A and B are shown apart, each in its own frame.
Chain A
Amino acid sequence: MAKGTLENQRIASVATIHIILIILSAIFLLPLAWMISTSLKPTEETLLSPPTWIPSRILIENFGKAWNYNADTLGYVPFLVYGRNTIIICFLVVAGTVISNSIVGYSFARLKWPGRDLAFALTLATMMIPFPILMVPLFGLFKELGWIGTFRPLWVGSFFAGAFNIFLLRQFFRTIPFELSEAAKLDGCSEWNIFTQVILPLAKPALAVVALFSFLGTWNDFLGPLLYLQSQETFTLALGLRSYQSQNGGTDWNLVMAASCMVIAPVIILFFFAQKTFIQGIAATGLKG
């Protein structure tokens, strides 16, 4: 009898937790649902008060309109060009970040040289420098080099490693048994070969985390492109969405939301394909600080 009541209590509390979680997830999803709902509406329905959720007519062509916005006067399809630019920059940044940080992280984790600990402390200290402090001199430097208006300021730096990823990879490289390196060395492997043939294959999960987050960071970056890109043809999606919104927000919210969908969709699709890497990455970055 007593056992039965306990069981009922347990069911009741599980149900309560589910109800709370369902309400909360509904609140969290509301903005995205509203974005999708708006993106499919005719313009006059976006102006209704109180707002309606289900469009009377579903207008898929809103996406085409946003996609082709001003294409005839510009001579190119803007979001296609923004998308291409973003992908080029993302590709270069991911390549640079993975290559440079794995080399540097390897040196900090598995090579011995005088001054290593001091250099590592210095690396960590740079994480404390907020970007706005470097913003003005960096802009001056890139201007001096004639790089303003090109993609270079956005990706060249990634080929020279950064504190956060160095740290992440160093931590991972250190968990790989040192006996493996010793054995390879006895077989006559050079340090470079040990690195590329023994250690890197074992570090794939960590490299995936670094690649994923540098991709995401670049895809989402706004301040960088805002500082360095000038003509609309060189804009990234983030910058393009912003300029699209400042031109059409206030009138065609359905089109602005359709454009937002297009900028968000790749990130969410990527998330579903790489969910495990996401979770691993976040756990690794948060815990070891």
Chain B
Amino acid sequence: MSRQKRQQNLIGYLFISPWLIGFSVFTAWPFLQSLWLSFTRYDIISEPKWVGFANYHALFTQDPQFWQSLQVTFTYAAVAVPLGILCGFGLALLLNIRIKGQEIYRTLFYIPSIVPAVATSVIFVWIMNPQIGLLNGLLKTVGIIGPNWLNDPTWSLTSLVLISLWGVGGSMVIYLAGLKDVPLSLYEASLVDGASAWHRLKAITWPFMTPVIFFNLIMGVIGSFQYFTNAFIMTNGGPQDSTLFYSLYLFNRAFRYLDMGYASAMAWILFVIVVGATSILFMTQKKWVQYGNN
């Protein structure tokens, strides 16, 4: 019996071994190594040199770009994530109404979200071209002189938020799947009671959807801290650092200036922020997320 058990364990470990190797080599080790590197000066060519807290000290006291990148990222997370949830959820509600042709609408809204980020960026650089772009051309026909969008520090971040909404179809499909799970009997009961559409949304749909919305909120916040490709291609952080996202600044520090120790310190601050932000969100979830009340 115990021999059989031992054999069973061995098989379990054998099956798990790819993950074990991958986790150690590609996650755990780099994770810890970046902590160590954050206390060094390292340019990838020569050996890392221990400098204690110098990188952290410089980041917090001498680096306005670091603070700028934090501000840009937090602003983006605070605006784009809720706005994305609102639009995705709103679209899902519209598409959940039983009328003809919903399949077609769903497809049309979804397609932009699978377009590669590089292509999205290239297309929007063209559309938002201040002089000959489509957007300002359309605005002109209704008598509005459009701003310089990506080239104007007061509009550049707004432009990126607007562009992010183009991909909202991805989360829309998740909400649609969630809406399918709301028991119809509840709606029927409320119709008998004569509840208004708004009341039904608030009392029935919303509570059922809170776990899905919570999931999207968490992923959205983590995603904001990884936001890279669009900013790299469309603005490269500019103009005047107005779109210097945290990941972009980290990338520049590491691979443009070969300041790898400094970048590692940034990476660990990023990790602390992400863990902190998710913990805070998890603490709020008792107040508004309702699990398994079906």
Hey, which bits of chain A sit against chain B, CB under 8 A? Answer: 14, 17-18, 20-21, 24-25, 28-32, 34-35, 38, 46-51, 100, 103-104, 106-108, 111-114, 116, 119, 122-123, 126, 128-141, 143, 157, 159-162, 166, 191, 195, 216, 219-220, 222-223, 226-227, 237-239, 241-242, 245, 249, 253, 256-257, 260, 263-264, 267-268, 271, 275, 278-279, 282-283, 285-287, 289
Contact call B34/A49, Cβ cutoff below 8 A:
no
Name which residue of chain A comes closest to B15, CB basis: A107
| Residues of the A chain whose Cβ atoms lie less than 8 Å from the Cβ of B44 | 139-140, 143
The answer, yes or no, to whether B268 is at the interface (CB within 8 Å) is yes
Say whether B118 contacts A137, CB under 8 Å. Answer: no
A106, B12: Cα distance in complex, Å: 9
Chain B 159-200, CB within 8 Å of chain A: the 1/0 string?
000000010011101111110010000000000000000000
Query: Which of the listed residues A104, A143, A275 has the most CB atoms from chain B within 10 Å of its own CB?
Result: A104
> Do B99 and A267 have beta carbons less than 8 Å apart?
no
Determine which of A50, A114, A134, A159 lies in contact with B34 in the assembled complex, contact meaning CB atoms within 8 Å: A134
Question: With an 8 A cutoff between CB atoms, is B216 at the interface?
Answer: yes
- Known contacts: A160-B19, A161-B19. The answer to whether A282 contacts B267 by CB under 8 A is no
Distance of A227 from chain B, by nearest CB (Å): 7
Chain B positions within 8 Å of A143 at CB level: 44
Q: For residue A141, which residues in chain B have a CB less than 8 angstroms away from its CB? A: 25, 29-30
Closest to B118 in A: A238
6 A–B contacts from the bound complex (CB under 8 Å): A126-B27, A135-B267, A242-B121, A245-B125, A282-B170, A283-B174
The 0/1 profile, CB within 8 Å of A marked 1, for residues 214-241 of chain B is: 0110110010011011001100000000
B8: interface (CB < 8 Å)? yes
Bound Cα distance A176, B13 (Å): 21
- Contacts of B69-120 to chain A: CB distance below 8 A: 91, 94-95, 97, 99, 101, 105, 107-112, 114-120
Pair count A-B, CB < 8 A: 274
Residues of B within 8 A of A268 (CB): 111, 114-115
A28, A119, A132: which contacts B267 (Cβ < 8 A)?
A132
> CB-nearest residue of chain A relative to B229?
A222
Instruction: Please report whether the interface of chain A is mostly helix, strand, loop or mixed according to DSSP.
Output: helix
CB nearest neighbor in A for B141: A50
Given the known inter-chain contacts A18-B99, A107-B12, please indicate yes or no for A283 contacting B271, CB distance below 8 A: no
- Compute how far the CA of A130 lies from the CA of B120 in the bound complex, rounded to whole angstroms: 22
Please judge, given known A-B contacts A31-B123, A113-B9, A136-B263, whether A104 and B137 are in contact too, CB under 8 Å. no
Q: Is B201 engaged at the interface, CB distance under 8 Å to the other chain?
A: no
Asked if A242 and B114 make an inter-chain contact with CB atoms under 8 angstroms apart, the answer reads no
